[in-house]
Amino acid sequence: MFRMSLTSDEIDHIAALARLSLTDDEKSRYRQQLSAVLDYIAKLGEVDTTPIPPTATVLPLRTVLRPDRVRPSLSVPELLANAPESEADMFRVPPVLDGGADG
């Protein structure tokens, strides 16, 4: 049920999923440290949880309603103020797709 140690391919895969560029040194350090943490975490496998429901929140489930009314909110300039780059009321980013001739 529980894996004890991570391979370097797995570290690459996790880093890609998390969108983190890591140096080779970081990769080898995290491989070792996360394997140790996972090894410790493996003790959860001892617990029989067959009839036990999961806890996603400790609070009682309830429906929270509010009137559907327009309320004041932040302005566009306030929202863009922290952006590294913006243009015409939008966040500006490098191209999302590899640019062919037609863009």
Partner 1 sequence: MSLTDLTLQGARDQLASGAVSSRELTEACLARIEAVDPQLNAFLSVTAERALTQADAADARRASGDGAPLLGVPLAIKDVLCLTGTRTTAGSRILENFVAPYTATAVQRLLDAGAVILGKLNCDEFAMGSSTENSAYGPTRNPWDRERVPGGSSGGSAAAVAARLAFGALGTDTGGSVRQPASFCGVVGLKTSYGRVSRYGLIAYGSSLDSIGPLARTVADAALLFGQIAGPDPRDATSMPTPVPAPDTWHDDLRGLRVGVPREYFIDGMQPAVERAVHAAIDHLRALGATPIEISLPHTEYALPVYYLIAPAEASANLARFDGVRYGPRAESEALWDVFEKTRGERFGAEVKRRIMLGTYALSAGYYDAYYGQAQKVRTLIKRDFEQAFEQVDVIACPVAPTTAFKIGTKVDDPLAMYLEDVFTLPPSLAGITGLSVPCGRDDAGLPIGLQLLGPAFGEAQVLRVGHAYEQTTEWHRAAPAL
Indicate the DSSP class of residue 86: E
- Cite the DSSP H helix spans in the chain: 8-17, 24-41, 76-80
In angstroms, rounded to a whole number, what is the distance separating the alpha carbons of residues 58 and 63?
Answer: 15
87 strand-pairing partners: 90
Is 90 one of the binding residues for partner 1 (CB under 8 A)?
Answer: no
What count of other Cβ atoms lies within 10 Å of the Cβ of residue 100? 6
Instruction: Name which position in 9, 57, 68, 72 contacts partner 1 (CB under 8 A).
Output: 57
Is 56 one of the binding residues for partner 1 (CB under 8 A)?
Answer: yes
Is 43 one of the binding residues for partner 1 (CB under 8 A)?
Answer: yes
Phi, psi of 86 (to 5 degrees): -145, 160
In which element (H, E) is residue 19 found?
none
Binding footprint of partner 1, residue count (CB under 8 A): 54
Is 45 one of the binding residues for partner 1 (CB under 8 A)?
Answer: yes
Is 87 one of the binding residues for partner 1 (CB under 8 A)?
Answer: no
Is 100 one of the binding residues for partner 1 (CB under 8 A)?
Answer: no
Binding site for partner 1 (CB under 8 A): 1-3, 6, 10-11, 13-15, 17-22, 26, 30, 33-34, 36-38, 40-45, 47, 49, 52-59, 64, 66, 74, 78-79, 81-85, 91, 93-96, 98
